[in-house]
Amino acid sequence: MFTIDNYTPTRVIFGAGRLQELARMELPGKKALICVTEDGLMEKLGILQRVLELLKQNHTEAVVFDKVQPNPTKDGVDAAVALAKKEGCDFVMGIGGGSSIDTAKAAAVMLVNEGDLWDYAYTGTGGKKEIKEAAPVVTVTTTAGTGTETDPYCVITRTDTSEKLDFAVDAIFPKISVIDPELMLTLPTTLTLYQGFDALFHLAECYITNNHENRLVDIYSEDGIRAVTKWLPVAAEDGTNLEARVNMSYAANILGGYTQSLINCTSHHITGQTIGGLFPKIAHGATLILIAKEYYKRVCRYFPELFDEMGGFMGLEPDSQKPGYGFIEALSKLLAETGMDKLSMSEFGIRREDCARIADMTVNNTGIADMDRYPEQLTAADIQEILEKSYK
């Protein structure tokens, strides 16, 4: 028997070439605050100018906030909100990847709520205040990774405490997400891989957490894992392959967003986010890749059949001598095929002695207990062991 819970209210406009429809769709406001990253990439690629022109055709005003950092910060959100208030914006747009979109979501919360952003973070030093409403959010996605376009999360870093915390509430589901894989054709290979593995882990972690409860999660995860296995190496090899970009975008932005809307990821993500909070220059996907194999070796004992099923989606027959290792073997193969097995903590400036601090913060600040549904909770010692075994 199975159950279904579903709430995925974002209007999704998905498909190659569909950015154009921004000129005539009904938008949820009259004046947009547009969030883009400080590196000027959206302008260099001409995407920002195209969006501004399409909004003009749609008789919608816009103001650009172009100071979003790679791991978006609370300070960045505060600055975006100040600009939106000064300019009288009534909705927020995120153009780009997770950083811009998550900044837009957090800014949308603070545009209509009192106090400080951190009052509303629900883990760590956050005040855990309830978010009842937010200004409307519209996204234009240019990456295939986070799933934030179609889910109710945003992740923001507070630099003074090195915390990278989640805000999760139905009010920040985007009202509209335009997901046009043509915008992804110029993504560099390394980013394509970081984001593609991030998507794979969303799908796999939700499959584990779900444990066959909600049938939709199973369907979304399976199709997504199959798509990433087939198309990520193709997209990495030839970024201009539109079929590969369409399939990766479908897996990451649609299926990955939906699975995360319906159920939580595991402490793999909590550990990765903690690394990202302490070492903000490391891309989110890379933090997950660094620890993936050892993490799954540690936890596959709890649900070996789920791990062998996921290995099957990735084309590997289960080995009865090593129950649960199907996913780990298939993941190892995909990491090697894409060169991502070479990533090392040391190249990103993490020292072996940092492992204990990361483990402590993972369990005591980021909030592992809220996430995992394993029969026993991972301890700081478990996380430290995963980190140390991963270290090179």
| From 20-28, 123-131, 196-204, 240-248, span contacting Fe ion (CB under 5 A) | 196-204
d(CA 259, CA 57): 35
Nearer to Fe ion, 180 or 198 (CB): 198
Nearer to Fe ion, 52 or 217 (CB): 217
Torsion of CA 271, 314, 298, 200, to 10 degrees: 10
In the bound complex, what is the minimum distance in angstroms from residue 181's beta carbon to Fe ion? 19
Write the DSSP symbol of residue 300. T
295: how many CB neighbours lie within 10 A of its CB?
27
- Total count of residues recorded for the chain: 392
In the bound complex, what is the minimum distance in angstroms from residue 382's beta carbon to Fe ion? 21
- Binding mask 24-53 toward Fe ion (x if CB under 5 A, else -) reads ------------------------------
| From 78-86, 113-121, 163-171, 195-203, span contacting Fe ion (CB under 5 A) | 195-203
Nearer to Fe ion, 113 or 365 (CB): 365
Nearer to Fe ion, 96 or 136 (CB): 96
Which residue reads 């009865």 in tokens?
Answer: 320
In the bound complex, what is the minimum distance in angstroms from residue 67's beta carbon to Fe ion? 23
Nearer to Fe ion, 198 or 309 (CB): 198
CA distances from 90 to 28, 63, 95, 150, 202 (A): 8, 11, 17, 21, 32
Are the CB atoms for 96 and 42 separated by under 8 Å? yes
Q: Which of 198, 308, 309, 382 binds Fe ion (CB under 5 A)?
A: 198
CA distances from 308 to 2, 132, 209, 296, 322 (A): 20, 41, 15, 12, 10
Tokens of 308: 């062998």
In the bound complex, what is the minimum distance in angstroms from residue 268's beta carbon to Fe ion? 9
Please list, in sequence order, all residues whose beta carbon lies within 8 angstroms of the beta carbon of residue 189, skipping any fewer than 6 positions away: 236, 239
| From 46-54, 194-202, 234-242, 326-334, span contacting Fe ion (CB under 5 A) | 194-202
Residue in the shown chain whose Cβ atom is closest to Fe ion: 198
Nearer to Fe ion, 229 or 273 (CB): 273
| 151 sits near Fe ion (criterion: CB under 5 A) | no
Number of residues interacting with Fe ion: please give it, by CB under 5 A: 1
Q: Which helix (H) or strand (E) holds 237?
A: helix 215-237
In the bound complex, what is the minimum distance in angstroms from residue 177's beta carbon to Fe ion? 17
Burial category of 277 from C-beta neighbours within 10 Å (exposed 0-12, middle 13-18, buried 19 and up):
buried
| From 129-137, 197-205, 353-361, 367-375, span contacting Fe ion (CB under 5 A) | 197-205
In the bound complex, what is the minimum distance in angstroms from residue 202's beta carbon to Fe ion? 6
d(CA 1, CA 320): 26
In the bound complex, what is the minimum distance in angstroms from residue 263's beta carbon to Fe ion? 14
Interface with Fe ion by CB under 5 A: which residues?
198
